[in-house]
Amino acid sequence: MNRITRTFETLQSQGKKAFVAYVAAGDPDYDRSLEILKGLADAGVDILELGLPFSDPLADGIVNQMAADRALKAGMNTHRVIDLIRDFRKTHETPLVLFTYLNPIFHYGYEKFQIDAVAAGADGILLLDLPPDEAEQSKEFADNGGLLQIRLIAPNTPPQRAKMLAEKAEGFIYALSRTGVTGAHGAPSADIGQLVATLKQHSRVPVCVGFGISNAEQAKSVALVADGVIVGSALVKQVEMHAGDDHPVNAVVNFAKELIDAVHGV
């Protein structure tokens, strides 16, 4: 059973919601990024989203753009992301979802990337700029080799398309709390509960909500209506603020712990 599926089954049996954390792979450098991944897993993060550094992250806000830039300048690339996953798997079993654009995978090689990512220990993938319709028509993605395809659904996604995406979702649905790019510059929409309820009518997998969640109060309110809460830019900001520290993991984990406890306490 895929680690993502197993994790949600365990949480459901415990009556708990999932906390999903996003960080950029290799930010601020390889060794400290690995430390951050391990620290978050040890702190109770249920699923880790790992962003592949890319030069043109169009769906990302400035915080995540700068994180990708730091990682690239530190020598990170897609092959090193695979190494990072492999090193993380030596000690931890927390599910890993790769958060990426199509271009890095195109350059790596579609089939080789999926084989190597699964072998290293990745569990899912969220391709930001590959429409599901096109993925279904591409033989390269007909069999994803063990990487569950995570789908994004926004508040303004047309109802019929949202229904189609929800019905075909794997692992979990990433429901956007609002439209726009990533970042904590806007609070979650007050209508997010209605979106989650609608998606759950059509989906067999959990619905997690992300975008704009930056404190424990927001995380708790979203956890009350969703199966999981996704926090990214607020955590990445902690990495940015402490990139000069020998161990930025300490600040990242201290910040994350309050949000984790808020979600798990619902």
**What's the count of helices (H) and strands (E) in the chain, helices before strands?**
12, 9
For residue 28, say if its preceding peptide bond is cis, omega within 30 degrees of 0: yes
Catalytic: which of 27, 35, 46, 60? Answer: 60
Residue 154 domain boundaries: 3-264
Sign of CA dihedral 10, 16, 18, 19: negative
User: Number of structural domains, the chain?
Assistant: 1
143 is catalytic: no
What mean pLDDT is predicted for residues 51-75? Answer: 93
The CATH number of the domain where 259 resides is what? 3.20.20.70
DSSP E strands: which ranges in the chain?
A: 18-24, 47-51, 96-100, 124-127, 148-149, 151-153, 173-176, 207-210, 228-231
Look up residue 50 and give its amino acid: L
- What pLDDT score was predicted for residue 58? 82
Q: Tokens 């395809």, residue?
A: 149
Average model confidence (pLDDT) across the chain? 92
31 is catalytic: no
- What pLDDT score was predicted for residue 144? 64
For residue 53, pLDDT over 80 is answered with: yes
List pLDDT tens digits, range 82-111: 999 999 999 999 999 999 999 999 999 988
Percent of the chain with pLDDT over 90: 80
Where would I find the H helices in 74-203?
78-89, 102-108, 110-120, 132-137, 159-168, 192-200
Confidence of residue 227 (pLDDT cuts 50, 70, 90): very high
Catalytic: which of 49, 116, 123, 227? Answer: 49
Distance CA 176, CA 166 (A): 13
What mean pLDDT is predicted for residues 62-84? Answer: 96
